[in-house]
Chain A
Amino acid sequence: MGTVLSTSATGRWLGRFEAMPPLAWLGLQAVALWPHWRWAAGRLADGSDDPLGLAAVVVLLGWVVWQAHGLRGNARPGWLMGSGALTLLATVSQAVAPPLAGALLAALALACGWRAIAPSGQATLPLAGLAVLSLPVVSSLQFYAGFPLRLVTAQCSTWLLQLAGRVAERSGTAMVVDGHLVIVDAPCSGVQMVWMAYFCACAMALLGGLRERSFIRRLPLVGALVLGGNVLRNTVLVALESRGPLADAWHQGIGLAVLAMVCAVVTMLMREARDAAPQ
């Protein structure tokens, strides 16, 4: 039988909409949420946050393009409704909630929208994680979690140095080691490492097809790894700084080496989990 074509104007437009690919619907949803992206772009443009989120955006876009051919024509109604509700909430939140909260809702709405049309068997949480990490969250994370992280890092480093026989004392987030003052200030909190490690975890889980339950189970381990890594990095640097001024190259080198170790363990964690997961 030939194609049935509507001859009314409304019907023709409805026909065009129905004929639109699923990705176009997702695009339209993204456009509908554009005030949140505008805010996020403004945060990056005025330098109030690191542009790390762009890396998550690149991974997400790459993933979307890669998966575009297998998208479902008929969306999953539950996820579609969830996506619509979150979009509505994100829009309303502009008037009643901080911009970051609205942007988080918008990112989750898009993740739900993707889940509605994504091929079966794909995990959504890593993608949702990447969507959240694509937002300017580092400064907010620094604001809310930075001080506790610095405090814990300074205390653990003090204990480690005391165990190593050094005269170490913590005062707030500052440390006095062998009479030398070294401060654990905001850039030392490990928030950047938190972002990097979770970015690595989400990306590996997404690309590796990790199941959601396994992914969730290993997320706390990623957090513990980051904390341990930052304590190690801080302890080594404080120990060296207390002996005299340390060149910036040492700071960079030690920081990158520890980060590489943390990320390597994160990738192993995700791989082992995937291998262990039932196929």
Chain B
Amino acid sequence: MPPLRRVPFHPIRPLTHVGRVMLCIALSLFAAILTLAWSPARADDAEARKGESPYFFIDNGAPGTDRLPLKSTAVDVRISGVIADVTVTQHYRNEGQRPIEARYVFPGSTQAAIYAMNVRLGNRLLSARIREKQQARIEYDNAKREGKTSALLEQHRSNVFEMNVANILPGDDVAVELRYTELLVPTDAQYGFVFPTVVGPRYGSPSAADAAGRPAWAATPYLRAGVDSSTAFDLKLRVDAPIAVKDIRSSSHEIQVQGADTAHAVVTLADATKASNNRDFILSYRLAGDRIASGLMLYRGDDQTGGENFFLAMVEPPKAVPLQQVSPRDYIFVVDISGSMHGYPLDTAKVLMQNLIGGLRPSDTFNVMLFSGSSRMLAPSSVPATRANIERAVQALTQTSGGGGTEIVPALRRVAELPKPADLSRSVIVVTDGYVTVESEVFQLVRRHLNEFNVFAFGIGSSVNRALIEGLARAGQGEAFVVTKPAEAAAQAERLRRMIDSPVLTQLKARFDGLDVYDVEPAALPDVLGGRPVVLQGKWRSQPGVPASGRLLLDGRAADGPWHQELLVAGHEDQTSSALRHLWARQRIAALGDQESLVGGNAEKEAITALGLKYSLLTPYTSFIAVDEVVRNPNPSLAPTVDQPLPLPQGVAETALGAEVPSTPEPAAWLALLVVVGVAGVALQRRRAAVVA
């Protein structure tokens, strides 16, 4: 046998038992390292369809993304006579490492005529243009895709707006400035200015499959109850009146007043560092002698403004005189006991209801409907307002606690179907925070049953949906009230009683003598219920160089007989009141909106769009858009959209975002595993013991 060649190294010997185990472990570790080195699969929900309901904010975004881009909101208000000019500046700053698109849903006054928007990007100023809504959205999306910084302002409701700011680069400070004007109409000689700061969480009915019932804007993140917004808020307000301003108060915020009891007062927040953007800013004041700034204002247009002339008339009504004989009425109280009313708002509503029901006359009849996801009447039919019935109703109310949805349309439909004797006057009193998205359906329903009842609406809470409350009252030819705290309940209930018992002016008619007017708003004057002036707006035709002249004649029927008032036109031309253009257009758009909600659909879309474009106003069909021409973001597709979270309105509980329905979940997985291991271990131990035995 030839000799074997010498091998260069020793042969591998079979592994020992321990060696095999070690090899297995080494292989396992190798596999684990491979697994970890490879980028693991990640669940990506970026393209997932967003929910259509409000939800709680969770800061779980990708690292390097600024989830709270809105750093501050500054409000500058200048009130001159009965017109407020407001500048709102929103500062967006990206403190992350990735470019972002910011989306912010914010509220506005129901009477605001937003007429301008500017964007300050560093040292550059971009002026926004008014565009048809779809066109603006297309331009914005294109600019966003191209990497240009752009801002889009859209109106979703008369008091709900959405700001989108695309391509905010890391370190950018983008200041978006909005300007609006508003007519301040006094009540009982008291002027009020309201600046809403937060949109309350809106309930979207599960049965509403359409966009109106569950609009996308309502899917907004909210901070947990008790968590303050990180957005700073500051407000400065200046009142310039012809006479001294007195009784300047805020029921919502602590304020500092300079120049009180003078004709020029300045109001600022007492402590701007305190969280103050979780409720409406409400300011009230009076003029010396409890006068109101009544009279005529005329504006003569120039070429820049299209040559149109505008007027505004505000006429003080006669003092209310209690009627000698008040006929009995039937009252249906419709009380919202949904989740958003839970706690403080419902406590306020209970106090209000005690005052409202407690003040009924024995000859009146009443019934109470409580509604949330469903509705129930306290009695099968209206009962006399006897002490026993009132106490029973109050007791039933005090036992309720808020929870569930806000199905206001079915509730009002049920009210409309209640039988009513032909000779009985019925008033429906709606008590709600208005956190719904079905405003149009509600107004449509009320208008269709206008000959059966009139509607008074009470908004309850710190950030009431005033569009619903005021719209309900307007549609139902009643009055809107807002009660922010229990202490205000008695006064507001008394105001309603006065209003119903002492209608001020009916069959009101206005005509101009010697002045050619047209496009007058409102087309038909409603009854004046009390404490509110008659307001008339419109256009007038002029001849060059000839001053306006003539008379405004108002005729109506007051409690003590016919009422007549005249206002002279001459001498009231004022070239500084160009805001009348926007105020008139805003009023006309609101009237068209009311008409649209009556017939449904987009019947007045063309007319509203034309008005918005002509007068440069934000409307449901026109939007403001500002685009920077510089491409600043090379990878715009990688910029995530960040929804700015809103604080929960003051006093509103987390149940507003939906109460938890009980379920029967299985126990925690790790506990269950421990139990299984324990049971199996005991079984194996017993088995071993049995084998040994």
Residues of A bordering B, CB below 8 Å: 3, 5, 7, 12, 15-16, 19, 21, 23-24, 26-28, 30-31, 34, 37-39, 41-43, 45-48, 50, 52, 55, 61, 64-65, 68-69, 180-185, 187-188, 190, 192-193, 196, 199-200, 203-204, 207-208, 233-234, 237-238, 241, 245-246, 251-252, 255-256, 259-260, 263-264, 267-268, 271
**Are A241 and B27 closer than 8 Å at their CB atoms?**
no
A38 to chain B, nearest CB (A): 5
What are 6 inter-chain pairs, A to B, with CB distance below 8 A? A24-B24, A31-B30, A182-B663, A187-B666, A196-B672, A200-B679
**Are A183 and B34 closer than 8 Å at their CB atoms?**
no
Q: Is B4 an interface residue (CB 8 A)?
A: yes
Interface string of B2-40 (1 = CB under 8 A from A): 001101000111110101110110011011001110101
B95 to chain A, nearest CB (A): 27
**Are B672 and A7 closer than 8 Å at their CB atoms?**
no
**Are B662 and A246 closer than 8 Å at their CB atoms?**
yes
**Are A24 and B23 closer than 8 Å at their CB atoms?**
yes
A253 to chain B, nearest CB (A): 8
**Are A259 and B664 closer than 8 Å at their CB atoms?**
no
A226 to chain B, nearest CB (A): 11
Q: How far is the CA of A19 from the CA of B20 in the complex (A)?
A: 12
Residues of B bordering A, CB below 8 Å: 4-5, 7, 11-15, 17, 19-21, 23-24, 27-28, 30-31, 34-36, 38, 40-43, 661-669, 671-673, 675-680, 683-684, 687
Q: How far is the CA of A48 from the CA of B676 in the complex (A)?
A: 23
**Are B672 and A259 closer than 8 Å at their CB atoms?**
yes
> Which one of A12, A190, A204, A263 has the highest number of Cβ atoms from chain B below 10 Å of its Cβ?
A263
**Are A19 and B14 closer than 8 Å at their CB atoms?**
yes
**Are A7 and B27 closer than 8 Å at their CB atoms?**
no
Q: How far is the CA of A252 from the CA of B38 in the complex (A)?
A: 38
Q: How far is the CA of A21 from the CA of B13 in the complex (A)?
A: 10
**Are B40 and A256 closer than 8 Å at their CB atoms?**
no
Which B residues lie within 8 Å of A204 (CB)?
680, 683-684
Q: How far is the CA of A7 from the CA of B5 in the complex (A)?
A: 7
Which A residues lie within 8 Å of B42 (CB)?
42, 46
Which of B11, B36, B669 contacts A5, CB < 8 Å? B11
**Are B683 and A259 closer than 8 Å at their CB atoms?**
no
**Are A259 and B676 closer than 8 Å at their CB atoms?**
yes
**Are A184 and B663 closer than 8 Å at their CB atoms?**
yes
**Are B14 and A21 closer than 8 Å at their CB atoms?**
yes
**Are B663 and A64 closer than 8 Å at their CB atoms?**
no
A115 to chain B, nearest CB (A): 17
B671 to chain A, nearest CB (A): 6
A57 to chain B, nearest CB (A): 10
**Are A21 and B20 closer than 8 Å at their CB atoms?**
yes
Q: A38-B38, A42-B42 are in contact. Are A27 and B23 (CB under 8 A)?
A: yes
Q: How far is the CA of A237 from the CA of B15 in the complex (A)?
A: 56
A18 to chain B, nearest CB (A): 10
**Are B12 and A19 closer than 8 Å at their CB atoms?**
yes
Which of A48, A64, A192 contacts B43, CB < 8 Å? A48
Which B residues lie within 8 Å of A260 (CB)?
675, 678-679
Beyond A5-B7, A21-B23, A233-B666, 12 extra complex contacts between A and B, CB < 8 Å: A23-B20, A30-B27, A38-B38, A46-B41, A46-B43, A52-B673, A182-B663, A192-B669, A252-B667, A255-B665, A256-B672, A263-B679
Q: How far is the CA of A256 from the CA of B667 in the complex (A)?
A: 6
B224 to chain A, nearest CB (A): 19
**Are B21 and A65 closer than 8 Å at their CB atoms?**
yes
A201 to chain B, nearest CB (A): 10
Which of A21, A68, A255, A268 contacts B672, CB < 8 Å? A255
Q: A5-B7, A184-B663, A192-B666 are in contact. Are A43 and B35 (CB under 8 A)?
A: no
B693 to chain A, nearest CB (A): 14
Q: How far is the CA of A255 from the CA of B667 in the complex (A)?
A: 5
Which of A34, A180, A271 contacts B35, CB < 8 Å? A34
The chain B residue with its CB closest to the CB of A185 is B663
**Are A34 and B667 closer than 8 Å at their CB atoms?**
no
Which A residues lie within 8 Å of B661 (CB)?
181-183
Q: A42-B40, A196-B673, A200-B679 are in contact. Are A21 and B15 (CB under 8 A)?
A: yes
Which B residues lie within 8 Å of A50 (CB)?
669
Q: Which are the 8 A-B pairs with shortest beta-carbon distances?
A: A42-B41, A27-B27, A42-B40, A255-B667, A187-B665, A267-B683, A237-B664, A263-B679
The chain A residue with its CB closest to the CB of B9 is A12
Which A residues lie within 8 Å of B662 (CB)?
180-183, 241, 245-246
**Are B663 and A183 closer than 8 Å at their CB atoms?**
yes
Q: A181-B661, A256-B672, A271-B683 are in contact. Are A188 and B31 (CB under 8 A)?
A: no
**Are A199 and B676 closer than 8 Å at their CB atoms?**
yes
**Are A52 and B24 closer than 8 Å at their CB atoms?**
no
Q: How far is the CA of A204 from the CA of B683 in the complex (A)?
A: 9
**Are A19 and B13 closer than 8 Å at their CB atoms?**
yes
**Are A39 and B41 closer than 8 Å at their CB atoms?**
yes
B402 to chain A, nearest CB (A): 16
> Which one of A21, A199, A245 has the highest number of Cβ atoms from chain B below 10 Å of its Cβ?
A21
Which B residues lie within 8 Å of A46 (CB)?
40-43
Q: How far is the CA of A159 from the CA of B7 in the complex (A)?
A: 81
Q: How far is the CA of A68 from the CA of B19 in the complex (A)?
A: 11
Q: How far is the CA of A23 from the CA of B23 in the complex (A)?
A: 8
Q: How far is the CA of A204 from the CA of B687 in the complex (A)?
A: 11
The chain B residue with its CB closest to the CB of A153 is B664
Q: How far is the CA of A251 from the CA of B664 in the complex (A)?
A: 7
Q: How far is the CA of A38 from the CA of B683 in the complex (A)?
A: 35
Q: How far is the CA of A266 from the CA of B184 in the complex (A)?
A: 77
